[in-house]
Amino acid sequence: DTGVSQDPRHKITKRGQNVTFRCDPISEHNRLYWYRQTLGQGPEFLTYFQNEAQLEKSRLLSDRFSAERPKGSFSTLEIQRTEQGDSAMYLCASSPGQSFRELFFGEGSRLTVL
Amino acid sequence: QKEVEQNSGPLSVPEGAIASLNCTYSDRVSQSFFWYRQYSGKSPELIMSIYSNGDKEDGRFTAQLNKASQYVSLLIRDSQPSDSATYLCAVNMGSGGYNKLIFGAGTRLAVHP
C-alpha cells in the first residue's frame, strides 16, 4: 500500500491524558498537512509542513497541540492534556509539491476523549 | 462569512437523475478548486479539480467554475445509489507558494432507487 498511512486509527482516552498520532505520507511527497474534522463539518486546516519545516499553524491549534516532522518523512501530532472538545477525526494529507495541487488523505485517526 | 459555503442538504435525488451541488467562496484570488467525496466514516477522496473558468467533464461528473461570481458547482449525471455520500468543496487559499485547502461543511447527497 503506497497511500498515506495513519496510526492509530482509533484512540479512546480520558480527559487530561496525552495522545500522539503518526502520519506516514506517500513516499517522496514533501508536503504534509494535518486537518481536524468533527461530525457534520468539513476538514479544518491545522498545520502544514514542507519537508521538515512547519510553515503554517492555524489559530485552531492551541498550545496543547504540537506537530513535528523531524526528518521530512513521517509526522506526529501530539495533544497534551486532552479535553472533550478535542474529540474529532484527525486527518493527514500529503502532496508532491508546488506544481501538484491535490491533497491525498489518509484514513484518519479518530480520537474520543471521555 | 465562512470562507467556503455549501448547502448542508440532504439533497435527495432519484436514481438516474442529475444531482447539482453548489459552492461559493470568499477569496477572490483563489486559483484552484476541488470536489472531494466522503463516505460516512471514511476519509475524503478527490473527484474533480478545476482551475479555469467554464466546465470540466470527467465521466458522469462535470465541474463548473465562475471566478467572477466566486462560484463552483458539481453536476453528477445518471446518479447512482453508490453516489450517496457527502461532497466537500475545497478552495486553495494558500499564499507564498504553497497549497492550503479550505473546505466547506459539505453537502450530503442521497440517491434513492
Q: Do B49 and A102 touch (CB under 8 A)?
A: yes
pLDDT at B96: 62
The residue with cell 440532504 is B10
The residue with cell 461543511 is B105
pLDDT at B99: 77
Question: Distance (Å, rounded) from C-alpha B60 to C-alpha A53?
Answer: 40
SS3 of chain B: CCCEECCCCCEEEECCCCEEEEEEECCCCCCCEEEEEECCCCCCEEEEEECCCEEEEECCEEEEEECCCCEEEEEECCCCHHHCEEEEEEEECCCCCCCCEEECCCEEEEEEC
Instruction: Note the pLDDT tens digit of each residue in A46-101.
Output: 999 999 999 889 988 889 999 999 988 999 999 999 999 999 999 999 988 766 57
Out of A40, A101, A108, closest to residue B99 by CB = A101
The residue with cell 514542507 is A50
Supply A10's cell numbers.
482509533
On whether the CB atoms of residues A82 and A16 are closer than 8 A, the answer is: yes
| Neighbour-count burial of A75, counting CB atoms closer than 10 A to its CB (0-12 exposed, 13-18 middle, 19+ buried) | buried
pLDDT, chain A, mean = 92
Instruction: Note the pLDDT tens digit of each residue in B85-113.
Output: 999 999 988 776 677 899 999 999 999 99
pLDDT at A102: 83
CB pairs under 8 A between A and B: 56
pLDDT at A108: 96
Q: What is the largest CA-CA distance in chain B?
A: 47
Above 80 in pLDDT, residue A23? yes
Instruction: Note the pLDDT tens digit of each residue in B13-55.
Output: 999 999 999 999 998 888 889 999 999 989 999 999 999 999 9
pLDDT at A97: 73
Q: Do B43 and A108 touch (CB under 8 A)?
A: yes
Contacts of B92 in chain A (CB under 8 A): 101
Out of A48, A91, A104, closest to residue B100 by CB = A48
Task: Give the residue from B23, B45, B95, B101 with the most A CB atoms within 10 Å of its CB, the best one to mutate.
Answer: B101
Supply B40's cell numbers.
460516512
Q: How confident is the model at residue A7 (pLDDT cuts 50, 70, 90)?
A: very high
Closest Cα in chain B, distance from residue A107 (Å): 5
SS3 of chain A: CCCCEEECCEEEECCCCCEEEEEECCCCCCEEEEEEECCCCCCEEEEEEECCEEEEECCCCCCCEEEECCCCCCEEEEECCCCHHHCEEEEEEEECECCECCCEECCCEEEEEC
Nearest to A101 by CA among B4, B50, B43, B6: B50
Average pLDDT over residues B49-74: 95
